[in-house]
Amino acid sequence: MGIWEWLLVILLNGSIVGYGLYLGRRGQSSSQWFLAGRTLPWWLMGLSMYATAINAADLVAASGATYLMGFSYFVLNWVGVVCGWVLAGFFILVPMHRMGMYTNAEYLEARFGVGTRITSVFVQLQFRTLVMGMMSISIFRILSVVCGWDWLAWAAVVLVAALAAAYTAVGGMRSVAITDTLQVVIMSAAALLIWFVIWGAVGGWDGLQQRLEAAQPSLEKQILHVGRDNVDREDVSALTPNQIQARLVAGGEYDPDSKVIVGRTPFWILTLSMILIGVAYVVVNNTQAMRMLGARSLWDLRMSVVVASAVLLVLSFFTLCIGVMGRALYPDQLLLPDQSQDSIYPLLISQFATGWLRPIAVAGVLAAAFSTYDSIGSALSALLTRDVYARLLVRDASDQHYRRVGQWLIPVIIGASFVYLPALLSGGMIVFYVEITSAFVIPLFTLYIMGVFTRVHPRTGIIGLLVGSSYGIMRLVAPLIAASYHIQILPTFLLDKYGAYLYSFVLTSLAMLVASLVLGWVPSGQLIHREQRGWLRTSQLQLEEGPPIGRSRFKQLLPVPLTIGLVATSLILSYVVFW
């Protein structure tokens, strides 16, 4: 790209970064910095929730996932994330909002004890910094493929991360939410323009079907339909017979003629797991929770769910479909840059985004990165400040002291995400994400579900986490043990990387139910902890829900039918239109 194209990229993103710094020019209390003082309108929160959910990793890594899995991956967003927002907005976050909580981890101590609260913080720290690492790789891949950069691409990644840390630390939640909304415009416009260009190149829907079928028999059915088993093929021609036998412990069937191990996940397990991934992303993720907890009222909270879901259903089709079209245009993964499916989006940009479309595409990727660097940075900062520092270390400092701690933590958190880069560069990013997060995120998600919807005993929280996490860790190390010692520590079906989400949820919830049969049940809605003193209590009092805002009965009920309609649309798209 030339100087004028780069000036356009800088203008589009730099103006938003500058505005974010401008918004933070005034002094703020901790409630204003962490949750914007519960003053943001519902439509702004909804757009910010969407901007955080669809980031640079979605443009690159999720395109790599749809390149491999096709429309089965769409279920994660269309059903999983939408239903996650609905569960959070109408049920799980309701008691937290009423009590003036800042983070979803605070609820876990109130329901299950301090151990679950602290565990939640470090689980979120692990899997959300992983997402930031995925975004860093995404930016690098785009710039290295499109611009031909090497070390300059990494310098640009560091610059984007540093700028996001700066305006987030200065402006807090208000700055983050407003800049996210502006960044949605840029990244959505870029994605739509790119989609139309590639859609024309592939020949529309008919051309897409024909190209996939010509590339490989049955590939069209596998990619363009949800109701198909997921098939993974691994070339093991370089392995010895003993190594192949050890590899088969993790599942799959060996074809001696082609020297390939074929792994198959039944479609019903795949779709259920995609839904669990999406729902758990919303419920466990404090980045999403903080936006909804910052709502002025429960009505505003639920209307923000309507906005976020409506935008997601429309725009995620265009962002995720790029990977599917890439499979039709470049069906042989071995011919992709680095032989990685994650290279498909940068490759398509370099081939089809010509003229002024190329800087717009780059600007869109950078806008998506900014919108999630800032959101994750502020959310993890809130967790570490409130749920670790103020809860365990310094309980009675001033309001401004905790705000400053939160500000200084943001660049540390964003910088820490770079430790994942070597592992992410070695393979598919979404595959790595699925492998790692199933060990801890699903057990934690199960605690929220069981805590809100059942009467399980408080002590079952730690029991459930131990059982679910133990299974997750055993599943990760089982192939290594099999390869080294030829010992199978888990049944083969429990090793499936997609089925692990479903099995983890079942094992964790069963452990909590069985333990409650022994320890006893508690009254519905009972909490065992409430902050009584110090900043944690006074800050909650500033935000506890006040008298209801006067609205007509029609307006009060409006979020319910709109939400039902959106959920129905997501189910029809997934299980009727593209089934």
Q: What is the pLDDT of residues 228-277, one digit of tens each?
A: 887 777 777 777 777 777 777 767 787 777 778 877 888 888 899 889 98
Asked if 319 and 237 sit in the same domain, the reply is no
Tokens of 369: 């990165």
* Residue 432 pLDDT > 60: no
Asked if 335 and 240 sit in the same domain, the reply is no
Asked if 171 and 242 sit in the same domain, the reply is no
Tokens of 104: 């979803």
Q: What pLDDT, on the 0 to 100 scale, is given for residue 431?
A: 57
Q: How far apart (Å, rounded) are the C-alpha atoms in residues 139 and 413? A: 18
What is the share, in percent, of the chain residues with pLDDT greater than 70? 93
* Residue 548 pLDDT > 70: no
Per residue in 278-306, pLDDT (tens digit) is: 999 899 989 889 888 888 889 999 999 99
Say which CATH number the domain at 415 has.
Answer: 1.20.1730.10
Tokens of 269: 């397990």
pLDDT, mean of residues 113-138: 86
What is the average pLDDT score of the chain? 85
43 or 362, greater pLDDT: 43
Q: What pLDDT, on the 0 to 100 scale, is given for residue 504?
A: 92
Residue 568 counted as domain residue: no
Residue 571 counted as domain residue: no
Q: How far apart (Å, rounded) are the C-alpha atoms in residues 274 and 502? A: 9
Residue 573 counted as domain residue: no
- Nearest one of 381, 320, 312, 345 to 129, comparing CA atoms: 381
Which pTM does this prediction carry? 0.89
Confidence of residue 430 (pLDDT cuts 50, 70, 90): low
pLDDT, mean of residues 303-315: 93
pLDDT, mean of residues 118-138: 84
What is the share, in percent, of the chain residues with pLDDT greater than 90? 30
Q: What pLDDT, on the 0 to 100 scale, is given for residue 443?
A: 93
Confidence of residue 437 (pLDDT cuts 50, 70, 90): low
Residue 158 counted as domain residue: yes
Q: How far apart (Å, rounded) are the C-alpha atoms in residues 65 and 436? A: 16
Q: How far apart (Å, rounded) are the C-alpha atoms in residues 549 and 532? A: 28
The whole domain housing 240 covers 230-265
Give the position of tokens 């089809």.
352
Contact 80, 281 (CB under 8 A): yes
Q: How many CB atoms lie within 10 A of CB 154?
A: 17
- Nearest one of 352, 67, 360, 358 to 199, comparing CA atoms: 352
| Start-end of H helices in 76-150 | 82-87, 94-98, 104-112, 114-147
Asked if 236 and 225 sit in the same domain, the reply is no
Q: What pLDDT, on the 0 to 100 scale, is given for residue 62?
A: 79
Instruction: Count CA within 13 A, CB hemisphere, residue 169.
Output: 17
Q: What pLDDT, on the 0 to 100 scale, is given for residue 309?
A: 95
Q: How far apart (Å, rounded) are the C-alpha atoms in residues 229 and 268? A: 8
Residue 128 counted as domain residue: yes
Among 58-62, 110-114, 177-181, which stretch is predicted with the lowest mean pLDDT? 58-62
Query: Angle at Cα 410 formed by Cα 396 and Cα 62, nearest 5°?
Result: 135
Asked if 158 and 249 sit in the same domain, the reply is no
Q: How far apart (Å, rounded) are the C-alpha atoms in residues 79 and 440? A: 22
Residue 577 counted as domain residue: no
Query: Angle at Cα 368 formed by Cα 365 and Cα 372, nearest 5°?
Result: 140
Asked if 301 and 320 sit in the same domain, the reply is yes
Among 97-106, 112-121, 369-378, 457-466, which stretch is predicted with the lowest mean pLDDT? 369-378
3-state secondary structure of 253: strand
Asked if 294 and 373 sit in the same domain, the reply is yes
Asked if 254 and 126 sit in the same domain, the reply is no
Confidence of residue 516 (pLDDT cuts 50, 70, 90): very high
Residue 330 counted as domain residue: yes
Asked if 305 and 251 sit in the same domain, the reply is no
Distance between terminal CA atoms of the chain?
41
pLDDT, mean of residues 192-196: 88
Select from 239, 265, 291 the last residue of a domain.
Answer: 265
Residue 417 counted as domain residue: yes
Asked if 189 and 251 sit in the same domain, the reply is no
Asked if 224 and 235 sit in the same domain, the reply is no
Give the position of tokens 């020297």.
259
Residue 47 neighbours by CB under 8 Å, 6+ apart: 180, 181, 184, 307, 308, 311
Among 2-11, 246-255, 423-432, 483-492, which stretch is predicted with the lowest mean pLDDT? 423-432
Confidence of residue 346 (pLDDT cuts 50, 70, 90): confident
- Is the C-alpha dihedral spanning 246, 249, 255, 261 positive or negative? negative
Q: What pLDDT, on the 0 to 100 scale, is given for residue 436?
A: 63
Confidence of residue 395 (pLDDT cuts 50, 70, 90): confident
Q: How far apart (Å, rounded) are the C-alpha atoms in residues 537 and 540? A: 5
Q: What pLDDT, on the 0 to 100 scale, is given for residue 360?
A: 81
Query: Angle at Cα 543 formed by Cα 541 and Cα 548, nearest 5°?
Result: 115
Strand partners, 253: 262
Number of domains in the chain: 2
Per residue in 98-125, pLDDT (tens digit) is: 888 999 999 999 999 999 999 999 888 8
3-state secondary structure of 568: helix
* Residue 427 pLDDT > 60: no
Asked if 38 and 173 sit in the same domain, the reply is yes
Contact 92, 448 (CB under 8 A): yes
